[in-house]
Structure 1
Amino acid sequence: MDKRVLFDFEITFTNGGGLQGQEFRLDIDNDDISDEELAKYIVRDMRLLMVDEVRILNKRIISEKHKRKSPDEDIVK
């Protein structure tokens, strides 16, 4: 079964403001992911700039089918 991470997050920006997410889900390749890796994943995937701090809250790993297509599935044959 595929693994996903379910979590809340808070992001603050160096130029002010912030972003929050509750019960956010992301596909993961392994059985676990560190908070640091998860924070980097969110920033990269959402293409965020000027990030000051990312706080990961209420993280848990769940067994659930991945929702995102793999890069190979996007190739038109």
Structure 2
Amino acid sequence: MDKRVQFDFEIDFTNGGGIQGQEFRLDIDGDDISDQDLAAYIVEDMRLLMVGEVRILNKKIITEKHKRKPGEKETN
């Protein structure tokens, strides 16, 4: 079965401001992902710079078909 993680997040920027997301979902390999690995993944995947604190909230693992193929990146 495919596993995804659903979570809320708050990201502060070192130069001021921040962003947040609610009920964000990402494909994961395996049955779990640490908050630290999840934070690193979203910062890299969203190509964020000057990131300060990242808070992961309300995390839960769900069984749902993956939306991306392995190694696939979003393109603009």
Task: Report the TM-score, using the length of structure 2 for normalisation.
Answer: 0.91
Unaligned runs of 5+ in 1: 73-77
Q: Aligned Cα RMSD in Å?
A: 1.0
After the TM superposition, which segments of 4 or more aligned residues of structure 1 sit over 2 Å from their partners?
69-72
Unaligned runs of 5+ in 2: none
DSSP-derived class of the 2:39 partner:
helix
DSSP-derived class of the 2:52 partner:
strand
Q: Percent identity?
A: 81
1:10-60: per-residue Cα shift (whole Å, max 9, x none)?
000000010000000000001000000000000000000000010000000
DSSP-derived class of the 1:9 partner:
strand
Aligned length: 72
Task: Report the TM-score, using the length of structure 1 for normalisation.
Answer: 0.90
Partner of 2:57: 57
The separation in 1 between residues aligned to 2:39 and 2:27, in whole angstroms, is 14
